[in-house]
Structure 1
């Protein structure tokens, strides 16, 4: 009788743990579906308060496109501004500082910070060694996201935006912070998305994803065609 009682209690305990795990996973799945559903809805302005904004830069034309985009936005609504570029990118943050110093945004002027982030994969790096660097880059991105906790994320193609956007999406699911992600595909992408754009599109992580060519919008119908921004 004693053994049967112990077996019953052990079975009950095991079933309770299993039920708890299933319940937690179900809640996470429901929350994930809610986040995906809400992310795909049009955004509505909630208040006139400024929004902390994280801007992901990349060397070359990507940074020029992003700064042109910022020049056309209401920068008095987007501050403080946090500019992030890859650790090996020596030019983008300098261009951002020049842009900020010449800005006519008196309210937001002086409220910009400049940061670097580790890259998960360098050009020519083997896939085996990139596993370790990807883990380091993800940990660094997590630390930056905890520190900044932006309300808006702007990006237009650099691979460094993927861990940042993925962490922002995780924060949404966990209820830590809701960051609206806006992705603008580069003007150089005429017929297909970049890898970063494709990941954000397929996983529905971006709140709004803009393209600069109509044929690209036809191929990816959930994107928004805005014309050439350059």
Structure 2
């Protein structure tokens, strides 16, 4: 209805009218997506739960260790296939994920190959450790373009992340997929256990911009300071 009304108004405005109409539609869509963020995805009566293509964003060091602990708690049948993505300069995270996946499949007794195999890829990082904020503006833009390409290629139902700078452009790309109506991508963010009193920069941006559908923290002080988060206790 909103689209029809805006298009009708734009008919008499020419090129600028159509541009204004497009901007108005996008603003309405962004507002609607932000307001719907966090709402549960409900199944229609009689439908079985289908596997959800899951994009797991890995960081370096502790981020990857925490993320793999989360992955080990997932239902392999529900969150499948899993696609792992890490920064292009990160040489350790993807091999570690491959090792955990191999062990999980072995423990699940996947002799017949019924569990969908995971995939692995890399992405340009928004900001390297120690990089200045000025230069990170340009690398973030480049990383965002690459993230949009990767997200469109993977087509995730769920994005699971826990704070590395790599996840920010990926989450934004997932958010934009909802804005343009491509598909609903559920963004799940779990703040690192190392963040006791305040959120990481990535977490703060996702929280303030309402890009995460589910936002979890591991310390009560953070829950008090950021009331829209969910306190789950220590996961490691």
- TM (norm. structure 1) is 0.88
User: How much has 1:146 moved relative to structure 2?
Assistant: 1.3
User: How much has 1:139 moved relative to structure 2?
Assistant: 1.8
CA RMSD in angstroms comes to: 2.0
Q: Which ranges in structure 2 are unaligned for 5 or more consecutive residues? A: 1-9
Are residues 1:123 and 2:133 paired?
Answer: no
Query: Quick one: distance in 2 between partners of 1:191 and 1:108?
Result: 43
Number of corresponding residues: 219
Is the 2:60–2:92 contact (alpha carbons within 8 Å) kept by the matching residues of 1?
yes
Distance 1:13 1:24, change over 3 A: closer
Are residues 1:225 and 2:223 paired?
Answer: no
Residues 36-77 of structure 1 deviation map (CA, whole Å, 9 limit, x = unaligned): 111132343564110100000111111111111111121210
User: How much has 1:16 moved relative to structure 2?
Assistant: 2.9
Is the 1:80–1:108 contact (alpha carbons within 8 Å) kept by the matching residues of 2?
no
Query: Quick one: distance in 2 between partners of 1:225 and 1:13?
Result: 50
Query: Quick one: distance in 1 between partners of 2:95 and 2:222?
Result: 32
* Structure 2 partner of 1:56: 57
- TM (norm. structure 2) is 0.86
User: How much has 1:128 moved relative to structure 2?
Assistant: 4.5
Are residues 1:203 and 2:209 paired?
Answer: yes
Distance 1:126 1:197, change over 3 A: closer
Map 1:75-224; keep pairs closer than 5 Å. Answer: 75-103=76-104, 104-105=107-108, 106=110, 109=115, 111-224=117-230
User: How much has 1:109 moved relative to structure 2?
Assistant: 4.3
Q: Which has the larger radius of gyration?
A: 1
Q: Which ranges in structure 1 are unaligned for 5 or more consecutive residues? A: 1-11
Distance 1:43 1:193, change over 3 A: farther
* Structure 1 partner of 2:39: 41
Query: Quick one: distance in 1 between partners of 2:231 and 2:153?
Result: 33
